[in-house]
Amino acid sequence: MDARNKFLESYKKKAQEQDPNAHVGDSLAESVNEGKKGESQGEEVSLKFDQKPGFVKPEQKPMTPAPKSSKKFNRYISISLGVVILLAIIIGTVLLFNRGVEAIDLVGWTENDAQLWAREKGINLQVEKEYSDEVEAGKIISQSVTKGTRIKKGEFMQVLVSLGHDLSVTLPLPDLMSMTKEEIEAWAAENFMAKVRITAEHSLDVPVGGVIRYEINDDTVVDEVSRNTPIYVIVSKGPEDEEGLTVTIPNFKEMALADSYLFADENGILLIVEEEYDDYVPQGSIISQSIKAEEKVAKGTEITLLVSKGKMITIPDFSGYSKERATAVAGGLGIPITIRERYSSAPADTFISQSIKGGSEYNEGDILELVYSIDNKVVLSSFVDQTRDAMEAWAKKLNDQGASISIKVTNTKSNSPKGTILYQDKSNTVVGIKTTINITVSQGKVIYVPDFVAPAGSGYDLAITREKAIAMCEELNIIPIFKEASKQGRLPGEVWSQSIEAGKEITEGSTITLKYVPANVKVTIPDFKGKTQEEILAEGHNKNFFIRFEEGTEFVEGYEGKVISQSPKASTKAAAGSTITLTIGPAGMPDMPGDPESPDFD
């Protein structure tokens, strides 16, 4: 059974799963009688399922009083167990609703059936079309999501739908005069020729089935034809004789309609097919023929065949049916249905609409969509301390299903993170589906913009580079936007402009634009060994590097107060503004144990 038939069969199975004692094959009359019987007895038909609990009360046994400490311990155990079970239920529910929908194989389905399936599952179907010689027009060639893959509701799934044969395709015109009728038919079928017509007439010179002549009513055709080019081929029926001018009519009621067409084509008679519903003759079978069997008629005679459309099915008015009853009735009539639910002004489970009007004639292949109300009210939980986005996502989900929830926002500064809901005027209650909810949302805590621009002419010890600015913004929770821009007198990589002046109040999460000099200069690191801190600064090396001085722990004779090591090493290339760490030797020899001149010497 292919995926499309499985999809249609699911409606019958759904009815049986919801009511195991119901028979989907019951007639419509039985369903209506049952409904009337319930009304005559004054019983109220419930639209809800009553689920009986599976709990069986245990046999009571005498209990020995437990010590007070044991009772208290048992109470803690019970509370802990309850918390664990509640957490398991919450986690299970989240996992269940995040599993998504399992994709099925839609290849070979009609576009209409695929759209109805996607709508039922909450998936957005994107349709692209192309010509195909392998797949019938209007049916799906391929899909972007493979069968069995799970796809979240609201996501997109692409399908490629066939436009059928491309009739603009051209091909060489064969030598039709040297071909037989069968060869021409095979050539036309193989190349999907749409307008090749073959007729026959008597000929004394051309053998039966041979081509007498052909006609192409297109002056532009020379050696090639398109699939849509009209070609009329006349083949020979052989010499004319009196016996060959008449046809003995068969009993078409014993033949399939396709065989009837074949007989008419081979014997030169014209079939006119008319259809009507019949409660007893199967669909597609011939009910009657205008000329009786065994009669002889001249070739070219018209014969009318009356063909059964099967038993006529009338779409019921489902407005008085519950979802369960509607499924059972539709299944009994052989009408495939899909049930969709949406919020409305009507109470839960109330019928809203049907896609095919009641009393209409059902056409094979149609799928009936029934819409029922989810409810006219919703449960509104508290979103305080959650984000505004969380509440808006909740409202959008409901609104996509027919609700009309609106959210009115007031912003205020606070120490709570930006976007956090601080106040909600309605919460933990049931509200109508057209409710407006007023909330107050945090803009974030107030911070003061730091000064990112050092005085002109400063070295890297004071200048704020792009890297320093990033660290400062991360600490304050503001978002920097950097723009490269050269500036005379400023160091490579130095920030020289800020869009918000220093000291101004802003909220966390705000953005600030910082202009900085492109850091595209490479500088050779000099040898600082043996120099003092004062000498290095006097030579202006802090204009090329950010120099960090560290006091060494190991005494080196002759290097008191002077650089004893550096990182990176001298003579290497580094970007301007890079950090250079210089280690300065201690100022004097540390006291040694046992030194007579040491104050600690005994």
The string of DSSP codes covering 178-211 is: GSBHHHHHHHHHHTT-SSEEEEEE--SSSPTTBE
* Stretch 494-519: mean pLDDT: 92
Residue 386 predicted with pLDDT over 90: yes
- Percent of the chain whose predicted confidence (pLDDT) is above 70: 83
CA angle 98, 101, 107 (to 5 degrees): 160
Say which range, 136-150, 369-383, 579-593, has the weakest mean pLDDT.
579-593
pLDDT in tens, 67-78: 555 556 677 777
Check residue 44 and give its pLDDT. 41
What are the CB-based long-range contacts (under 8 Å, 24+) for 552-559?
552/583, 552/584, 552/585, 552/586, 553/586, 554/585, 554/586, 555/585, 555/586, 555/588, 555/589, 555/590, 556/585, 557/589, 559/530, 559/585
Before 568, cis peptide (omega within 30)? yes
Check residue 561 and give its pLDDT. 87
Check residue 12 and give its pLDDT. 56
Tokens linked to 126: 């994107």
DSSP state of 586: P
* Stretch 481-491: mean pLDDT: 92
CA distance 298 to 243: 10
Its CATH class, for the domain covering 3-35+313-373, is alpha beta
Locate all alpha helices (DSSP H) within 98-140, ordered by sequence. Answer: 111-121
Say which range, 43-47, 112-116, 314-318, 355-359, has the weakest mean pLDDT.
43-47
- Looking at per-residue confidence, does 116 or 20 come out higher? 116
Its CATH class, for the domain covering 170-236, is alpha beta
Check residue 244 and give its pLDDT. 59
Identify the burial level of 458 via C-beta atoms within 10 angstroms of its C-beta, where 0-12 means exposed, 13-18 middle and 19 or more buried: middle
Its CATH class, for the domain covering 377-444, is alpha beta
Check residue 602 and give its pLDDT. 38
**Which band of pLDDT confidence, cut at 50, 70 and 90, is reported for residue 35?**
very low
Q: Please check whether the two domains, 243-308 and 377-444, share a CATH topology.
A: yes
CA distance 25 to 492: 84
Identify the burial level of 280 via C-beta atoms within 10 angstroms of its C-beta, where 0-12 means exposed, 13-18 middle and 19 or more buried: exposed
CA distance 366 to 363: 6
**Which band of pLDDT confidence, cut at 50, 70 and 90, is reported for residue 14?**
low
Check residue 558 and give its pLDDT. 85
Check residue 82 and give its pLDDT. 79
Q: In CATH, what is the architecture of 243-308?
A: 2-Layer Sandwich (3.30)
**Which band of pLDDT confidence, cut at 50, 70 and 90, is reported for residue 51?**
very low
User: How many Cβ atoms are within 10 Å of 114's Cβ, its own excluded?
Assistant: 25
* Stretch 55-66: mean pLDDT: 51
Tokens linked to 379: 């449960």
In this structure, are residues 261 and 215 in contact, taking their beta carbons and an 8 Å threshold?
no
**Which band of pLDDT confidence, cut at 50, 70 and 90, is reported for residue 313?**
confident
Tokens linked to 562: 């002077």
* Stretch 138-164: mean pLDDT: 91
CATH of 101-162, one of 2.170.190.11, 3.30.10.20, 3.40.50.2300, 3.90.25.10: 3.30.10.20
Q: Which fold has domain 521-593?
A: Trypsin Inhibitor V; Chain A (3.30.10)
Residue 264 predicted with pLDDT over 80: yes
**Which band of pLDDT confidence, cut at 50, 70 and 90, is reported for residue 5?**
low
Check residue 277 and give its pLDDT. 86
Q: Where are the domains of the chain?
A: 3-35+313-373, 101-162, 170-236, 243-308, 377-444, 521-593
Residue 419 predicted with pLDDT over 70: yes
In this structure, are residues 335 and 365 in contact, taking their beta carbons and an 8 Å threshold?
no
Residue 199 predicted with pLDDT over 80: yes
pLDDT, mean over the chain: 83
